[in-house]
Amino acid sequence: MGVASGLRRHIEPCPLFFDRADGAYFFDADGHRLLDYTLGWGPLILGNNHPAINAAIERQLTRGYAYGAQHWGEIELAERMVRVLPGVERVVFSNTGTEAVQVALRLARAYTQRTKIIKFEGHYHGWLNNVLVSYRLKPGDPCGPLPACGGQPPSEFAETLVLPWNDLPAVDETFRQFPGQIAAVLTEPILANGGSCLPDDGYLRGLVETCRTHGAVSIFDEVITGFRIALGGAREFFGVGPDLSVYGKALAAGFTLSAVGGKAALFEVLQDGRTIHAGTYNGNPISLAAARATIDALAAPGVFDELEAHGSAVRAALEAEASRRGVPLLTTGCGSVFSAHFGLLRAPRNYRETLRADMQRYGRFRLAMLRRGVHLLPDGRWYVGAAHGEAELAAVRAAIGPALAEVAA
Ligand SMILES: Cc1ncc(COP(=O)(O)O)c(C=O)c1O
């Protein structure tokens, strides 16, 4: 099949092979230089070949690849995370977002001694059976835990309840239906995997408060939003503090690292041995060196303002050029991660509302952009990073108009 992740399998015209990458550019095996707005599906917040990250890794390379034991690098990263993530008092490290989501659920279940979890339609929390449900739906599908692929035994998602997003009464009602049984509510704070829908005003705060009222743990899956929409992720951006947050992707800017952070009380179940979190590569010193350099680079003044400005300028160009050609197109999300939707007349509030978008036209647009040297994800999502500067903005603007003209008919 030739792809390392099933989600890369059906990419048109064919899954591209890359030879190398530098800054905001990927170079494919045929020698094309592509301006990249995929950022490797999100992690490359600083682009490729970043001098500070390279230097940090080179330093670590001579000091050891893996210890399988505690080291200063863990403490130095944990201290940085606690400093920049509002309300985060403790952190533990894992490797992928998929794993760290499971760590958060394990902590929540051990802490509450309950088993059920709530997740929402269209939200992606990794590829394991208990959360890979109701991820990609068809319009008539019922609301309930539907497996996303073969090989998912129903027993493995029997404790997962699925609800529509941005609907607080549905959450409250479910807590009343299953009193004392729900351990956690798991949500992406911006529905980046399902059309970059934004939470309604007060929704995230309401979710956290509803969890508190019913003795459950609130978990923000910040694998995309963390270290991207603000240095403090959704906690800072929305001013809301859940019990736990899950980090990955941009945390180590392209190196394999994930983490769970949150209230100290939740981590006591690990400290006193009520539960276990394990992994040969947990706290890998190379990835941790990359993460420390990433946070230091992201903490420089103005970084997030520039990300926001660049993304807003690209969104404005997309909407203006589309409107000039009579093509219905709108964008949702924020500057550093947003989605473009053909055919929608108002911003979708949840995953079901994104299903009305014309993805075939988006597919044609994506290919038209690729022919003009701009590399985009197939699902309408755009990632903006610090390597996107003025030259890249000019290049992407120059491609957008003609690409839209091609798909206007
Ligand atoms: C919100 C969210 N959670 C979890 C994951 C899983 O992370 P990983 O692919 O590192 O396992 C992803 C991956 O795209 C994600 O977007």
The residue extents of the domains of the chain are: 6-49+301-407, 51-298
Percent of the chain surpassing pLDDT 90: 95
For residues 301 and 305, give the distance between their C-alpha atoms in angstroms, rounded to a whole number.
9
Its pTM surpasses 0.85: yes
Q: Which of 36, 221, 243, 379 is catalytic?
A: 221
For residues 134 and 121, is the Cβ–Cβ distance under 8 A? Answer: yes
Q: Is the CB of 190 under 6 A from ligand 1?
A: no
What is the pLDDT confidence band of residue 15, given thresholds at 50, 70 and 90? confident
Tokens of 273: 């041995």
Residue 263 a catalytic site member? no
Residue pLDDT, tens place only, 197-224: 999 999 999 999 999 999 999 999 999 9
Cβ-based neighbour number of residue 164 at 10 Å: 17
For residues 119 and 142, give the distance between their C-alpha atoms in angstroms, rounded to a whole number.
15
Q: Is the CB of 98 under 6 A from ligand 1?
A: yes
Residue pLDDT, tens place only, 267-299: 999 999 999 999 999 999 999 999 999 999 999
Tokens of 47: 């682009």
Predicted pLDDT of residue 124: 98
For residues 189 and 204, is the Cβ–Cβ distance under 8 A? Answer: yes
Residue 249 a catalytic site member? yes
Residue pLDDT, tens place only, 28-80: 999 999 999 999 999 999 999 999 999 999 999 999 999 999 999 999 999 99
Q: Which of 111, 124, 203, 383 is catalytic?
A: 124
CATH of 51-298, one of 3.40.640.10, 3.90.79.10, 3.30.1490.20, 3.30.230.10: 3.40.640.10
For residues 211 and 213, give the distance between their C-alpha atoms in angstroms, rounded to a whole number.
5
Rounded to an integer, the average pLDDT of 136-161 is 95
Most informative mutation of 120, 223, 381 for ligand 1 (most atoms within 8 A of CB): 223
Residue nearest to atom 4 of ligand 1 (CA): 125
Q: Which residue has the tokens 């200063």?
A: 72
Q: Is the CB of 131 under 6 A from ligand 1?
A: no
Q: Which atom of ligand 1 is nearest to the CA of 95?
A: 10
Q: Which residue has the tokens 């060196």?
A: 289
For residues 269 and 108, is the Cβ–Cβ distance under 8 A? Answer: no
Predicted pLDDT of residue 5: 82
Q: Name which of 261, 223, 243, 214 is nearest 116 in CA terms.
A: 214
Rounded to an integer, the average pLDDT of 142-165 is 97
Q: Longest Cα pair distance anywhere in the chain, in angstroms?
A: 64
pLDDT: is 43 or 12 the higher one?
43
Fold of 6-49+301-407: Aspartate Aminotransferase, domain 1 (3.90.1150)
Q: Name which of 201, 245, 208, 202 is nearest 223 in CA terms.
A: 245
